[in-house]
Amino acid sequence: MKKIANISTKAILLLGGLVLGLTGCSEDDDSGNNSEAVITSQSLKMDLSQFEKEDAGVFMQAFYWDVEPIGDWYNVVGEKVEDWADSGINRIWLPSPSKGASGSFSMGYDPMDYFDVGEFSQRGEDNVETRFGSRQELEDLIQKSHANDIEVIADVVMGHNSGGGLQYNPYRDAEVFSLFNEENGNASGKFNRNFEHFHPNAIVDSDEEALFFAETDLSHAVPYVQEWLWGRDDSVGEFYKSLGFDGWRFDYVKSFAPKWVKAWNDKIGGFSVGENFDGNQQVLKDWVDASGSPAFDFACFYRLDETLDRAQDLTPLGEADNMLRKLDPNMAVTFVANHDTEKDENPDNRISYGNKLLAYSYILTHDGYPTIFYLDYEAFKGQLKTLIQIYNTLAVGDVEIIEANKDEYIMKRSGSGDNPGLILYMNISKQTKQRVVKTNWAGKTLVDYTDNSRATPTADAEGNATIQAPPGSYSIWSITKE
């Protein structure tokens, strides 16, 4: 298992290399004056708090795979909440709270007893806590989050179950682990299940075709299952809400129809986002249209992975309609990493650490609702705090792509009212790049609000200004204070 100390050490080493890259200079720069230049640029910056958006806020995935220490994770997260709130986080996503078949080792994705969130002994085991802690610790964390104006989102795993007792299933003519009762993985005694509640059954053979555990795939077409998941006043959804949860992250939605997400949300309410693990933007758009729920923008994730890591060519970032956020930004939850991508050994399914901040500079300046991954925040806290502040203030107005080529991507947000907006300059080449761009800021002096560039260009009477970005890095420009 991964240890927090080991992960943190690796992250710190990686961060050190990134910091060196982010402070890179052009050939005629005097690097000895860099600290003085940063201080000077700080004195030029506007107070961004005056521009904070009414809907300001960023999503935090508050866990990673195999979190440790076992049994204490809710307390660990509780110690982070005030800092996250100060940074501009408005929602945190916790793993599935219910007891899993793996007991204290479970990350929640093998749900067994939906009504056991760390208070029952299951199958003769002495330990009652989940991997993350006790019910009381969960409720304390939620209360502390609410006190800091942070909503808490529960992971809802309603496609498949694990850990039941073995019984004969006549629809499969085989024995299946589909018996869930007080003696078989369901000590709460609520939502007992048997083979009639899985696929196939007397009503339907299957729900969707992308089944994770086909033998114990819950059948949402069965009225009993619907009632216990969301329909009853004491359903799973209502139970989660009674704990204080404010919304839902639906796990692996390819295994059940989007209408079941809509049914849950219509009855339970709250914010929601679906995990439709698909890089095709139209598949994502069809799902959000059918479910009425936002979805994680896997198309955006894979475009960033492709451009930054695999092809090392930023040109596709300028193409139209190749992400959910380009088709429907209000329904796109963007991200750079999650618990699945970070443990995937396939480099095509994760963005490398060396390019993480470039990817975050993209999602934290564009439209969509951006997500920060717990380990990334721990590794790159200073830079991410700056980017989150920029997202919550200057990242407003229409998105206009100024340039997208192999090495460069330049995008402008038009601003709104007194808010001047911003210009993002990404540069993946090995040397400083600069370019004359048309801004909305005629006669204004500009400054890089990330401090990655020390330049302070002035736009001419027509708004043209020469901006730059360091090698393998980014800069985010706006006007100086009056």
Q: Which positions are annotated as active-site residues?
A: 251, 275
CB 461 within 8 A of CB 409: no
Residues 307 and 407: their CA atoms lie apart, in Å, by 10
Task: Give residue 433's Cα distance to chain centre.
Answer: 31
Coil, helix or strand at residue 182: coil
Which parts of 244-277 fold into alpha helices (H)? Answer: 258-268
233 labelled binding-site residue:
yes
- Token code pair at residue 111: 């749900």
Ramachandran region, residue 417 (left: φ > 0; alpha: ψ -120 to 50; beta: rest): left
Please tell me what DSSP assigns to residue 232. Answer: S
173 labelled binding-site residue:
no
- Token code pair at residue 463: 């708004």
Coil, helix or strand at residue 479: strand
Half-sphere exposure of 444 (CA within 13 A, CB side): 20
Question: Which residue bears the tokens 């077409």?
Answer: 221
- Token code pair at residue 467: 């901006």
CB 299 within 8 A of CB 322: yes
Residues 309 and 470: their CA atoms lie apart, in Å, by 18
Beta strands in 278-421 (DSSP E): 295-296, 332-334, 369-373, 399-404, 408-413
The residue among 94, 100, 127 whose CA lies nearest residue 116 is 100
Does a cis peptide bond (omega within 30 degrees of 0) precede residue 470?
no
CB 64 within 8 A of CB 99: no
What is the residue type of 274?
Answer: G
Which parts of 23-158 fold into alpha helices (H)? Answer: 34-44, 73-78, 81-87, 135-147
CB 413 within 8 A of CB 395: yes
The residue among 95, 125, 90 whose CA lies nearest residue 111 is 95
Which residues does the annotation place in the binding site for Ca(2+)?
Answer: 233, 407
